[in-house]
Copies of this chain bind each other. A is one copy, B any other.
Amino acid sequence: MPEIEERQHQDDIQPRLREVQRLLARHKLVESLVSRQEMPRHNLVENLVHRQHLTEVERLLDHMHPADIAYILEALPPDERLIVWDLVKAEQDGEILLELSDPVRESLIETMHPDELVAAAEKLDADELADLAPDLPQEVMQDVFRSLDVEEREQLRAAMSYEEHRVGALMDFEMVTVREDVSLEAVLRYLRLFENLPDHTDQLFVVDREDHLQGVLTLSRLLVNDPDVTVGQIMSSDMLTLQPTDEAEAAAQAFERYDLVSAAVVDEHNKLVGRLTVNAVLDFIREDTETEILAQAGLREGEDIFASVWDSVKNRWSWLAINLVTAFIASRVIGAFEGSIEKLVALAALMPIVAGIGGNSGNQTITMIVRAIALGQVAPDAARKLLRKELGVALFNGIIWGSLLGIIAFWLYDSALLGLVMTSAMTLNLMLAATVGVAIPMTMQKIGRDPALGSSVLITAVTDSGGFFIFLGLATLFLL
């Protein structure tokens, strides 16, 4: 287990962050005085004062968990981040890099010497190394690879060969294995040979000579049973096993459903190749939902909050470009009805309401269905049932809200016909939103694509252009 600081509350990382920030501010002040030569540069005493705040920061960092240091690094602006990074003990470098978000990690790796990187990487396990590898320069990875033994090379190769969303990319290799025919007494003696059990060891894996998985022995059963009993007598063989090619999302759902701490990963011949632990699952879930929330706003990745303007622009431009195209199309739909608007300018003021409410309603439908698909609760043939329900909701809302707006339009522009057009357009656009809101995710699911991606842009595009077309079209037919 990693050493954990004494912490009365889990949120006392905040005061420590403030403390680091305070010390850095003072250090900067001294720095600026020195550089403006208001303080003598070569005076030893003054130089000590100069270093003093950094030494304090260093002492603070010494007692911190790598994950906490990573947290502080993320919360600092780039210049202060580099000062702190230089103060961190070299042997913690690897673990800290692992905990950082991609953009911050990349920026720190850029500042490091290849030798430092090799030293940092060599301290990591194969599965951790696999996570870091994509960000390391090639020559560094070659050096690291050469330093590994045969088994570790094999593990590294295995871990790197799976896509990020597969179990193989999340598993580690720290399994404790025992044989079926030994007594618990012998198992207990064997475990005393360890200096520490691997983190998250809640069960031992029972394997035969060729590493085929026979069952699992939970520590709970090991501890409550008589030492004379053999492993085979009390092991459980109806455990959940995963394969490296399984979807990580499905594995995560299994961890949640069965409240697992660890699970065996076996190959197609039932040979034990690794294990998945709940902390890897937790990290995966967090990253996965984070990505989804960011993607919904068209952000490619989590932005370093202090990223340069240029990095932010790059991260966000594709979404804006797509929206520009869809907005342009909607604008051309309106353009086609310019004659009508010229004759009845009220249409210009009312049309965004029809389009906007359609977009909101469509997004509600799509969000609902995407969640249900993600949980596997929507059979591909449920489309008709869902559509019927969503159309019902749309019709109801269209009549209620549409009538309200129709009355308002009548009251504003003193035209009952305009009110009727408003009500019908609202109802029709809501029904269009419902239809497309069901159709988009169900189609995505059928063709095997992630229904969450881009659904929101697509529906807004349809309800905007569609809303303008329906409203202006009806108005042109019945009012002019």
Contacts and interface: CB of A to CB of B under 8 A. Distances in A.
Contacts of A353: 324, 327-328, 330-331
A275 to B, nearest CB: 14
Interface in A271-329: 278-279, 281-283, 285-286, 289-290, 292-294, 296-299, 302-303, 305-307, 309, 312-313, 316-317, 319-321, 323-324, 326-328
The complex is assembled from copies of this chain, and their number is 2
Contact of A349 (B75, B257, B331, B396): B331
A359 to B, nearest CB: 9
A89 interface: no
Interface stretch (A138-146, A152-160, A376-384): A376-384
Interface string A254-274: 111111010000000000000
A386 to B, nearest CB: 7
Residues of A in contact with B, size category: 35 or more
A372 interface: yes
Contacts of A352: 327, 330-331, 334, 352, 355, 464, 468
Nearest to A279: B259
Contacts of A305: 368-369, 372, 377-378, 382, 386
A220 interface: yes
Contacts of A10: 240, 242, 246, 250-251, 253-254
Contacts of A348: 334, 338, 341, 345, 347-348, 351
Contacts of A293: 289, 292-293, 296, 367, 371
Interface of A: 1-11, 13-14, 17-18, 21, 65, 67-68, 71, 74-75, 77, 99, 188, 191-197, 199-202, 218-221, 223-226, 236-243, 246-247, 250-251, 253-259, 261, 278-279, 281-283, 285-286, 289-290, 292-294, 296-299, 302-303, 305-307, 309, 312-313, 316-317, 319-321, 323-324, 326-328, 330-332, 334-335, 338, 341-342, 345-353, 355-357, 360-361, 363-364, 366-369, 371-372, 375-379, 382, 385-386, 389, 392-393, 396-397, 401, 404-405, 408, 412, 464, 468
A50 B247 CA distance: 40
A92 B404 CA distance: 49
A259 B199 contact: yes
Contact of A389 (B240, B289, B309, B341): B309
Contacts of A389: 306-307, 309, 312
B11 A360 contact: no
Contact of A285 (B77, B218, B219, B282): B282
